[in-house]
Structures are given as structure tokens and as C-alpha cells.
């Protein structure tokens, strides 16, 4: 089996404050290490289930967080950002049997994680797809589905796990923490590692049941913090401005959705 892993940090065990997610901050190092350990746990579980090749996208911030030396030798690590519109699942295609998302988090406009956001934490109020608040999980699960790859396992906060189950109840989830205001309540990091490893292994036994059917049409609404960005974005082909800070884009092609987000959400 060939498996794709996309890994973020705001849904990693214990991560509570932005200083714990930024390379130039003193609080960053232990949480980068936990990010790597949770990635390794997913790899180990996948290998136990028969995976022979695992491609990992370091999908947080600079894309240069995970320590590859701590991962199994059958892995390849994508560092940095190519500019591909699939973003956090860059280069995923139909040669993969399944995908897993590690360290993901609740969407912007959610109160389930103190670091809840979608794509850009400081310029976007929210993104909606067909009236539903979109998380980075949803955006990239749809991208995987676009090329026929099911997401079989997701780890992160409790709010995200609830969202995942609404999309497809067969997708395995690991909830490592609960967000309460600006705080988090996390399980022990070693317990999280064990749970992720076990669920990664089990999830590969029901790949077909985890498939997501793409909507026939996408109505994408973006709410910006700054009205200036909404005005500028309104000139993107097919985009309409519907208020001082909101724009809407409609298409039947999901690649067009991700391409639009690549250019307008920054």
C-alpha cells in the first residue's frame, strides 16, 4: 500500500498558544518534537497494516518542522511549499491507496480550539462551502477525493473529530484535546501517540467505506477581516463581492476552488 500523510501542528497534543507553533519562539521545540512523534506513530500503524511507501507533507507554516531522521526509512518527506493548489496535500494523486491527516484542527469560527482557523489565522474570518464552515480537513479531504483517495484517519481536537464524523462516520478519529476558551485539556502525549498508531493501523482495514462523494456544485464564501482584501479579491474571475468583507465564488470543478484559495487566501 501507498499512503499519504498530511501533518499540521495546531491539532497536536498539548499545543495551545501560537508561540508553540512558530519556529522563532522559545516554546516551539517540544511541540515540534511531539508533531514528529505523532507523525511517526501514524507511519508505524500504517506499516503494521501493510504500507510499503508513505509520503508525508509537512503542512504547517514554513513546511519545515518534522524531523525526518525520526521517521521510518520507507517514508519520503515533502518540505516547504511548491505552490500547487492542493496545498496541504500537494502532489496527491490516484496512485495512493489512502490518506491520513495528523495534527489537524477545528475551522475558523469554531470555539473548539484556541487556535481554530482555516488556512490563514489572521486575515480570514471564515470560509464556507455550500453554507458549511470549512476546515482545513474539509478543504483537503475534498482535494483527496477529487483524485479518488479516501481519508481514512484524522487526529486533532474534539471539535474536528465531530466534524469528520458528520462528513463520513467511517473515518477513524483520534481526539487528543479539548479547547475551552484560550485553554486546552489534553490527554497525555504518550497516550496520544499510542492511540494514533492503533487507529492508523485499524483504519486501513476499511478504506472503501471512508470515501467522500464530492458535491455537484461548490458555492464558496470567504469572509475577510479586512475589507481591502475583499475588494481586491472581488476582481478574481468568477468572484462576486456580497458585502464589505465577503465574497462568493461558484463552480462545479473543485480544482478551481483550490486554485482560487491558493491565490486569494493569504
User: Which among 54, 14, 52 is positioned nearest to 33, based on CA atoms?
Assistant: 14
Q: Of 176, 148, 175, 177, nearest to 164 (Cα)?
A: 175
pLDDT per residue as tens digits for the range 151-160: 999 999 999 9
Instruction: Give pLDDT, residue 255.
Output: 98
In this model, does residue 236 exceed pLDDT 80? yes
Binding residues: 8, 10, 60, 105, 136
Contact between 173 and 154 (Cβ < 8 Å): yes
User: Residue 262: its pLDDT value, please?
Assistant: 95
- At residue 192 the predicted structure's pLDDT band, cuts being 50, 70 and 90, is very high
Residue numbering of the annotated binding site for Zn(2+): 8, 10, 60, 105, 136
Q: What's the average model confidence in pLDDT over 40-50?
A: 98
Q: How far apart (Å, rounded) are the C-alpha atoms in residues 170 and 207?
A: 9
Cβ-based neighbour number of residue 153 at 10 Å: 27
Q: How sure is the predictor about 165, in pLDDT bands with cuts at 50, 70 and 90?
A: very high
* DSSP code for 129: E
pLDDT at 91: 97
Tell me the helices (H) and strands (E) count for the chain, helix number first: 6, 12
Map residue 223 onto helix, strand or coil: strand
Q: Quick one: pLDDT band at residue 117, thresholds 50, 70, 90?
A: very high
Q: Is 117 a catalytic residue?
A: yes
Query: C-alpha 27: how far from its chain's center?
Result: 22
Marked catalytic residue, from 17, 109, 117, 172:
117
Q: Which domains does the chain have, with CATH numbers?
A: 2-117+136-210 (3.40.50.10780)
For residue 178, the cross-strand partners are: 185
| Mean pLDDT across 29-49 | 98
Over residues 34-57, mean pLDDT: 98
For residue 266, the cross-strand partners are none
How many C-beta atoms surround the C-beta of residue 266 within 10 A?
Answer: 10
> Are the beta carbons of 163 and 135 closer than 8 angstroms?
yes
Amino acid at each position: 500500500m501507498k499512503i499519504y500523510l498530511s501533518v499540521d501542528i495546531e491539532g497536536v497534543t498539548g499545543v495551545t498558544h501560537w508561540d508553540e507553533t512558530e519556529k522563532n519562539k522559545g516554546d516551539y521545540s517540544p511541540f515540534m518534537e511531539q508533531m514528529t512523534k505523532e507523525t511517526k506513530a501514524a507511519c508505524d500503524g500504517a506499516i503494521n497494516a501493510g504500507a510499503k511507501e508513505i509520503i508525508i507533507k509537512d503542512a504547517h507554516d514554513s513546511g519545515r518542522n518534522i524531523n525526518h531522521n525520526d521517521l521510518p526509512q520507507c517514508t519520503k518527506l515533502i518540505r516547504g511549499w511548491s505552490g500547487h493548489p492542493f496545498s496541504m496535500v500537494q502532489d496527491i494523486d490516484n496512485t495512493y491507496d489512502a490518506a491520513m491527516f495528523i495534527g489537524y484542527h477545528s475551522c475558523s469560527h469554531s470555539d473548539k480550539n484556541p487556535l481554530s482557523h482555516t488556512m490563514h489565522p489572521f486575515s480570514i474570518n471564515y470560509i464556507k462551502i455550500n453554507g458549511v464552515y470549512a476546515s482545513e480537513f474539509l478543504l483537503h479531504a475534498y482535494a483527496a477525493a477529487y483524485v479518488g483517495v479516501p481519508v481514512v484517519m484524522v487526529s486533532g481536537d474534539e471539535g474536528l473529530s465531530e466534524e469528520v464524523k458528520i462528513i463520513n462516520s467511517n473515518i477513524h478519529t483520534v481526539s487528543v484535546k479539548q479547547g475551552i476558551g484560550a485553554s486546552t485539556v489534553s490527554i497525555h502525549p504518550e497516550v496520544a501517540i499510542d492511540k494514533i498508531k492503533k487507529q492508523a493501523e485499524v483504519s486501513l482495514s476499511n478504506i472503501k467505506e471512508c470515501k467522500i462523494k464530492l458535491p455537484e456544485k461548490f458555492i464558496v464564501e470567504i469572509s475577510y477581516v479586512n475589507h481591502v482584501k475583499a475588494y481586491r479579491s472581488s476582481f478574481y474571475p468568477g468572484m462576486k463581492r456580497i458585502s464589505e468583507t465577503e465574497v462568493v465564488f461558484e463552480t462545479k470543478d473543485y480544482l478551481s476552488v483550490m486554485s482560487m484559495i491558493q491565490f486569494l487566501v493569504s
